[in-house]
Structure 1
Amino acid sequence: MADGILSSALRRWARVPVIGRIALVYLIARLVTTGFLVLASTVSTSQSRFGPAPGLRSFVLGWDAQWYWWVAVNGYPQALPSTATGQVAENSWAFMPVYAYVANAVGFGDWGLGALLVSLVSGLLACIVLHRLLRPRIGASAAMWAVAFFASGPLAALFQVGYAEALFTLLLLLGLDLVARRRYAWLYLVLPVMGFTRPGILAFALFLGLHGILRWLRRDREPLPVRHIVHIVALGLLSVVVGFAWQVIAGVVTGDPSAYLKTELAWRRNWLPESDDSFFPFEGFVRGAEFWAGQLGIPAGGGVIVLVALVVAVAALLLRSRSVRRLGPEIRLWSASYLLYLLAVFFPQSSTLRLLMPLTPLWGALAVPRSRIYRWGMLGLCLLAQWLWIVSMYGIASTYYQVP
């Protein structure tokens, strides 16, 4: 009897159009996330950033969402604010304009409403594009499970708060899908918008370079027309230009060529008060490893080297695993490019998990195993991790490492 009911339900589910199935999975996931946020508000106290029993709107407007709101309402400062020690203070130049202004336009002046709608719709569209990207590589069933993991994963609250991650992920997945389908011309529209949504376009420039090299090496198996070479080179150059454009704009407006870098480094002083305004590639990751090694009681020097080597080795093994190889060269090259970008420019701290959201296509690797027990178990782990992230960042939210 139970088997018959299950079989009938599965047949009806199979007759639903793919977009309808994705939308239903996404809607259920959003209802679950809403429930988690409501529960988080019940554990929020006067010690929390949000105070006792905050409403959902407070969460939508919390943390970095305040900066995007500030950009939408006040724009960017012409004079960089300073701390008591004369260093550049945290300011809105660290937050790019697309999400801030689109949310303001969508909300007709109610920025919080607009931000919620942009994040929600971007998340749904990102699920659709993710399925389109993965289906030819891992099959329809696994692609749908990857969508379920993505929609319900540890960072799923970002589809319902005023952060730019959902919109950026949508644009990124569109870009990867266009490259995979060799529809390069459309990227001239996607890349500038992506580049002014949040940092990461320079990683896409590296990805395009690696993609071009791979296509050249495989030109005997897949023809490489001259027009494709021209597109790949031009798009790589465009990505580099867009990637540095915000630094140039900030420098011109403020009169300080290092305005953007100094602004980004201002956040690092929350963790390393003695740090200065200098930037060297990969230095932030090493400093971060030293900081966290100290927090974990790991000896300095050799212990830090081991910690850094371990992180790099795990990333390399992940990208070489059989399930990741099934995702195809574009997803692997993008993942390697973005991880290298993070190592080069970011200081690992409590936001690191959020910064991994552009690795979304790797959910496909976790969806490959066909075991029903495995897939439902993985979904359960996703929901558990999501709850722990929400209750930590939006419920308790009272200590230095509880910053999304």
Structure 2
Amino acid sequence: MLPPRPLAVSKGRGAVSNMQGRYEVNGREGFDDGWDAGIEPGDAPRFKTQVTDEVAKSILSRNASPDIPFKVSLNPYRGCEHGCIYCFARPTHSYLGLSPGLDFETRLFAKVNAAELLRRELAHPGYKPEHIAIGVNTDAYQPCEREMRLTRQVLEVLSECQHPVGMITKSSLIERDIDLLAPMAAKGQACAAITITTLDSEISRTLEPRAAAPARRLRTIRTLTEAGIPVSVSVAPIIPFVTEPEIERILEAARDAGAVSAHYVVLRLPFEVNPLFQQWLEAHFPERAQRVMNRVREMRGGKDYDSDWGKRMQGEGVWADLIRQRFTKTVERLGLGKLGSRFERLDTSQFRRPLVVPAATGKAGAKGAAQLDLF
């Protein structure tokens, strides 16, 4: 039998394979059949991004997790072209019969009716306003948002309703929507969190290949801050011996750029993220791959991952405690607050329910609905 095909890095992509999802019936295993003899080791075919329109049935997701500072979130897209190898949302592509690997980065789904669904949700008589976090599972400002503008449409609805929102992104495209976010922030209805995993552009280029460069994210923090939008920095994930040495430098750079609070998460490896991340390690950091995984297991009770609340975000053990101490002491020294408190202080008292007009009624129906609203 021929040996397994060596890992091949696709330029501009995070995953180094298109491994099958856990729900697929038939198993697949890559091997070298000799037909790729002319391809240089380490090369891989280019994968073109495909965006498919999706008519979603619902748009708001709710959680009861005690270790997350928000209960309601909204994601305009499935999959994410940023290609962050560590993304905990990768396994969700398995529900679609697609790979959490390269499919997650290249076969995207856009919820084209996101704004319409949100408007109907907010108009429901029983709806009680809670701050909504946007961009939790997949980045709401990934490249396709430039043309599709679904996040922009969602923000327009929230702005109209004076509904509080927290944006989470690693993209500079958020600057496009300052005209909506700044007035909301002035009323205590908007804040943003910018994720900075590393300041090393070389590491970032393979770790999160299509996200904004670290220096560009720092500039985004400054731009948002100068517009009056409170910005937090999310140092996530912290990867032992890869990004972990930079904790203090990231926090200092973010503070200097204007960030007012900070949060961190240690590397999480649920489901298919685990083998995908280990493939990435072998492809990009083979000399330290075993060392990294040994430290990850030390923070996870000897396992690759522990999903228990209270442990999944920050880990446990000596190394997890050292990271916690380093982060906490640096945050205190720099005068930074906590990300969660920033979300919790958003104002829900000014919320006003939107009008919802059936699409078939057209302009005449909209006029009639507006008249009815007066009574």
Q: TM-score normalized by structure 1?
A: 0.29
- Select the structure that is richer in helix: 1
Question: With CA pairs under 8 Å and 6+ residues apart, which has the higher RCO, 1 or 2?
Answer: 1
- Select the structure that is richer in strand: 2
